[in-house]
Amino acid sequence: MKFLSFACKQIEDQITPLLRNCTSFRELEKIHARIVVCSLSSSNYLATQMINLCNSIGYIDYAALVFEQAVDPNVFVYNALIRAFAQHHKHWQAIQVYRQMMRRERDQSLVFANEFTYPFVLKACAGLAELDLGKQVHAQVLRSGLVFVPIVLNSAVELYAKCDDLVHAHKVFDEMLERDVVSWNTLISAYARLGDMKIARSLFDSMPNRTVVSWTALISGYASIGRYSKAAEAFQQMQLAGFAPDDISVVSVLPACARLGALELGKWIHKYANKHGLLKRTFVCNALIEMYAKCGSIDQARQLFDGMRNRDVISWSTMISGLAMHGEACEAIELFVEMKTEGMVKPNSITFLGVLSACAHAGLSDEGLNYFDSMLQVYGIVPEIEHYGCLIDILGKSGCISRALEVINGMPMPADAAIWGSLLSACRTHGDVDTAVIAMEHLLELEPEDTGNYVLLSNIYAAAGRWDGVAKMRKLIRSRSMKKTPGCSAIEVNNVVCEFAAADVLNPEYGEIAKMLALLGAQLGEAGNADNDLGFKHDDFSWMGIIS
């Protein structure tokens, strides 16, 4: 018997290096066949090694077959399979293996979960967003005496954070005797993701040590709640603190550049990404294309798109939408045709949104209707409310007001304010007062405080000579004490983004702004432009100011 055990150990020692150096499934099958021939299928050590190998090369179903052949799997075999399932997003299978493991523990089969089990079980619960199940696993962690193991508690924080239970996430965090940077980053990212930047910033400022992940969480958090200036500021502070941006931090700040019109910062990021090899990642190029398009540099967006080696559906969709946004409708449609001709990437709902938008901009009603119909008939894509919005815009601009109203009434979902607003605008263009009144009735329910809708209907009444309607709208505006939302814009000067808002007379720079506008007004007046053409009087600048 001792000789047999020694011989098995020798064979295990020979097979182990083969498993460590194995890189393909075909090699794995050969090694597995040798293990079976040598009657070592019951070896827990080799089973663990094979499952780990299956995990690394992506053959998870084969890992499950290896596990089933194990006669008496120990904790290492169980942990290997749970980890493999969890890491490949087969979360429910991971939970099932864990339950089998716990049943053996209850039957006193001496298989006990340990600190290498629970992180992946909790990860599986988080992936399924199963908060109640995760709480049960967390309770088992407490009973097992692993309450002070950082990697386990970090996983518990992540579970609660991903399930949006920040009360319990913060409670676990506060009770940790030893917190590492993962603990801090997990909680900061959770608060940032849910838009509570006050607590996120407070935690960030309290961190003993920060990483690029910490800064990225802050940047993406600010961008997600529309505080784009703060996002750009944090990105610059990260570099001043000595942290080199990675691909994720770059992608996190680019939407802020796009919304702020911070083209110079976006160009610097492009150069940085090129220098550090980040342009090899498709999602970085996609974010840069969107930034250039939204900042008005459609030619640079197209140049970057044309130079990409690997384009996914987001690349095509972003470029098509960018061209449509800039009025290059024909070029956008040509690019869509090219995408279909290549056949490497199938269009999705976002792609069609760009195509329909291009048709709306160019007034291509027939083409737009055909593309809309092809979504479901050819590609099996069910149109969403945004696609119907584009369709209404197409019909409205082509003067098909009645057809547009029929489409709205036949939509599978209730029309939103954007759709009724689009119809109201079309009614103004084509002088359809009756349909305008119908659209306004719905807008009064959806957006009762939007002054623009009242003004638009008033203008439609005025164009039709229906002054009683004009008086009615003005009376309605006065009775509701509505005020127009101040206009806002932004410019970038020396890599600093300045936002301008209407009627901000309290700004310390207001006097200088007023003087400059007075000078511009005077010069334009001398050039033969009347005050009414400019939209303001030379001595009235109360509508202008800087807010940050």
**Which ranges in 276-397 belong to alpha helices (H)?**
282-294, 298-306, 313-325, 329-342, 349-362, 365-379, 385-397
3-state DSSP call for residue 113?
Answer: coil
Query: Would residue 13 count as lying in a domain?
Result: no
Same domain as 362, residue 345:
yes
Same domain, 473 and 528: no
- End-of-domain residue from the set 277, 310, 343: 310
The model's pLDDT over 90-135, given as tens digits with 9 standing for 90+, comes to: 999 999 999 998 888 776 665 678 899 999 999 999 999 999 999 9
Taken in order 465, 467, 472, 474, the sign of the CA dihedral is positive
* Domain presence at residue 450: yes
The most confident of 51-55, 77-81, 504-508, by mean pLDDT: 77-81
In a shared domain, residues 402 and 483:
yes
CATH number at residue 303: 1.25.40
In a domain, 118, yes or no: no
pLDDT in tens, 412-461: 999 998 998 899 888 888 888 888 888 888 887 787 766 777 777 777 77
Looking at the structure, tell me whether residues 395 and 478 fall in a common domain: yes
C-beta of residue 531 within 8 angstroms of C-beta of residue 538: yes
Residue 178 lies in a domain: no
* pLDDT of 270 over the 90 cut: yes
Final residue in a domain of this structure, among 310, 343, 367: 310
Residue 472: CB atoms within 10 A of its CB come to 15
Question: Following DSSP, what letter does each residue of 449-477 receive, concatenated?
Answer: T-HHHHHHHHHHHHHTT-HHHHHHHHHHH
Q: Domain residues for 221? A: 210-310
Coil/strand/helix, residue 128: helix
Average pLDDT of the segment spanning 402-406: 92
Q: What is the DSSP letter of 546?
A: B
| Average pLDDT over every residue of 200-210 | 93
**Percentage with pLDDT > 90 across the chain:** 52
The token pair at 250 is 């770059």
State pLDDT tens for residues 310-343: 999 999 999 999 999 998 999 999 999 999 998 8
The residue that leads in pLDDT, 519 or 314, is 314
pTM of the model: 0.76
Q: Which residues contact 211 (CB under 8 A, 6 or more apart)?
A: 181, 185, 243
**Residues 379 and 393 grouped into a single domain:** no
Q: What is the reported pLDDT for 84?
A: 95
Count of domains forming the chain: 4
- Confirm whether 135 is domain-assigned: no
Tally of CB atoms within 10 A around 506: 8
pLDDT of res. 532:
44
Determine how many CB atoms are found less than 10 A away from the CB of residue 179.
17
User: Is residue 203 situated within a structural domain?
Assistant: no
| CB of 506 closer than 8 Å to CB of 515 | no
86, 79 Cβ separation under 8 angstroms = no
Which residue from 99, 165, 78 is spatially nearest to 126, judged by alpha carbons? 165
Same domain, residue pair 483 and 506: no
Last residue of a domain, one of 247, 280, 310: 310
Other CB atoms within a 10 A radius of the CB of residue 408 amount to: 22
The reply to whether 214 and 305 lie within a common domain is yes
Helices of type H across 59-211: 60-69, 75-87, 91-106, 118-128, 131-143, 150-162, 166-175, 181-193, 197-206
According to the model, what pLDDT value does residue 539 have? 43
Considering the domain architecture, whether residues 293 and 362 belong to the same structural domain is answered as no
In a domain, 126, yes or no: no
Query: Span 262-271, mean pLDDT?
Result: 94
- Tens of pLDDT, residue by residue over 20-59, are 777 778 887 887 888 777 767 778 888 888 898 888 888 8
In a domain, 80, yes or no: no
If asked whether residues 419 and 473 sit together in one domain, one would say: yes
CATH number of the domain to which 389 belongs: 1.25.40.10
